[in-house]
Structure 1
């Protein structure tokens, strides 16, 4: 006899308990809209998964205004500037002086912890450890999420489904391919990222362009540093013993003023491929995509999680208008509004990437052009302001909301 699924009804079903899905659920709850979040991973996995950690000014503001900012403000690191380093010298870009805005360094996994704690206060609205997740009937007025958990089958019928399940998730893959246009650029390098138990050697991030390749000095706390090295896209982290990593970081971050790194214990290391990706449209029927399910940016601009926050803020407003007064136009405007911001951020992330990395087919001309571009940015207030305005974050309401 076929097992009958346990059935539930909710206004919005959310696939994925990353920052996008969790924040969307939180925003909807503040608007009185019920949601359930379905996630394939465990709570421990989500809370321990190390990802980006630079929050735009408005991202931090959104967290504060929705009651999620207390731990961020207590433990995060507010940065009023950053450094561009090349030709053996570091040059500070003063974000606060140029734009009146700063950024907050606070790990994505810490944001996820805060969001999970907030959502679980509302009851069992997150379903961890789900298997066989699928979305169905997305082109009807009653789409559904199916999954199995603890040996039982479940079905959640919704008014809308939010696909917040990442680049490799099932939501975008459930849309007919002929209904989508995909834009992609794959870069010929990756980042080797390491987490080290050493105090950060700089109070602000250092983006370094070097003949051997890009390097980035970042941090997660006053005791933990996050560092990156440009590497081949198919590199194996196992081929990078600690000694090799510290030698490469020391060479790429060395300066004529004697600045040097102090090696320490490396806690984690991994290689991330680099790509730019956009899916259009971001809506099919009653399925709305957000975050990495709809777009990927290279991490050079520190924009991934910030773009996801912008997406779900627009989506939450659209859903609030729909449930308040049946506003279908707000739903239709969701994707186009988000894509305006997404493409602006894609441009900035591409620009930072091409300016700071070594490409395998670079000629001597290309290298001198890169150095000239960096020299222009750090010596022109107008150019530095362009970088600062984008890095601290373009206003989320620049035509982004239905």
Structure 2
């Protein structure tokens, strides 16, 4: 089989890239290791930047998002129970964010692929990339136990942190940067109304907490815990009690408790791999970078990568220009590092670190930073600009 672009990974990055290329008349095949049901069941982030929403509109998969998604004009920053609102819309001249789960984005993109006949091959095993430094790269894989070969012009590696794409770049070429945080997020999903109509990020002496949602009847909450915490030590009632304490009395009074339908502990890290292009291979999304979930930049960074990559490939096929291909890595990384900076900063602002005990210098610095944000419109504008997403 032959195509123009082989896309490795059937998550939102790979599927969105395929739809952008399809609208430009460029053929592609998506290879996904897992089943469609598995991919669509993965619980991920749910806050979309303004530009990510526009990309989904561009590929025509925005109808359900606009019906079911929640537009947020701001978010709250709580400090030991005192709540301060960041007015995103007012501070940025009209920009907002959309609360719409990554699971739902993936379902919408899969439906679009099926409707348009853009091929997505699920349960593709033993994927390997070959001849990436030549003009004739190809991909091998197995489907239903039968060896397959996919010839192509380019390979887009959208297969996440544990995929095969990034390791296909030689170790002497690839450079990685990483920070591992000394805590995790214990997340709980429950079919209860959210405690507030906007997100609440809380810095409390007992640790970070986040009140979020997936809809008006499904809530997503998080608390900071040791990364090696045992879920067995966190029954639902204990989590609800801790959330009520960390989020403050106003949120606690509006909180509806219910049985969890999903519960997990996720480690936090910042990670970037450079370069994001080697020969005919491009990295996009989690294959190239990971951000802590504070500020919800993961899916949004994948969307910006795909935007830059699609533009580069469209220019190559439409005009014979390689300028975008040559510039892809540098252009994508410039935005990646800014998002990494914001996520790192926001995590540092809201979480308890080993040096932020009640009377420690680090804790006082957190309070001084928050006091400055609360009292300065200029500081709030900087926060808001980064939260709604820097322009592509």
Bin for the TM-score computed over the shorter chain: over 0.9
**Using the alignment, how far apart are the partners of 1:57 and 1:343 within structure 2?**
19
Number of matched residues? 389
- Deviation, 1:124, is 5.6
**Using the alignment, how far apart are the partners of 2:228 and 2:251 within structure 1?**
35
- Deviation, 1:254, is 1.9
Structure 2 gaps of 5+ residues are none
**Using the alignment, how far apart are the partners of 2:316 and 2:186 within structure 1?**
44
- Deviation, 1:207, is 0.2
| Match among 17, 24, 31 for residue 31 of structure 1 | 24
Task: Give the equivalent residue in structure 2 for 1:212.
Answer: 206
Task: Give the equivalent residue in structure 2 for 1:308.
Answer: 302
Secondary structure, counterpart of 2:116 in structure 1: coil
Secondary structure, counterpart of 1:195 in structure 2: strand
Structure 1 gaps of 5+ residues are 1-7, 397-402
Task: Identify the range of structure 1 (114-123 vs 8-17) with the bigger mean alpha-carbon deviation.
Answer: 114-123
- Deviation, 1:256, is 6.6
- Deviation, 1:183, is 0.7
- Give 1:305-384 correspondences, 5 Å limit: 305-363=299-357, 364-384=360-380
- Give 1:117-266 correspondences, 5 Å limit: 117-123=111-117, 125-255=119-249, 259=253, 261-266=255-260
Is residue 395 of structure 1 aligned with residue 378 of structure 2? no
Q: CA RMSD in A?
A: 1.2
Secondary structure, counterpart of 2:249 in structure 1: coil
Normalising by structure 1, what TM-score? 0.95
**Using the alignment, how far apart are the partners of 1:58 and 1:226 within structure 2?**
23
Do the aligned partners of 1:144 and 1:158 also contact (CA within 8 Å) in 2? yes
Residue-by-residue CA offset, 1:23-78 (whole Å, 9 max, x unaligned): 00000000100000000111111111110000001111111122111100000000
Do the aligned partners of 2:6 and 2:154 also contact (CA within 8 Å) in 1? yes
Secondary structure, counterpart of 1:191 in structure 2: strand
| Match among 94, 110, 131 for residue 116 of structure 1 | 110
- Deviation, 1:260, is 5.1
**Using the alignment, how far apart are the partners of 2:168 and 2:328 within structure 1?**
19
Do the aligned partners of 2:74 and 2:96 also contact (CA within 8 Å) in 1? yes
Residue-by-residue CA offset, 1:286-320 (whole Å, 9 max, x unaligned): 10000000011111011000000000011001001
**Using the alignment, how far apart are the partners of 1:385 and 1:255 within structure 2?**
27
- Deviation, 1:257, is 8.6
**Using the alignment, how far apart are the partners of 1:256 and 1:215 within structure 2?**
14
Residue-by-residue CA offset, 1:104-157 (whole Å, 9 max, x unaligned): 000001000000010112226000011111111111111111111112111101
Task: Give the equivalent residue in structure 1 for 2:4.
Answer: 11
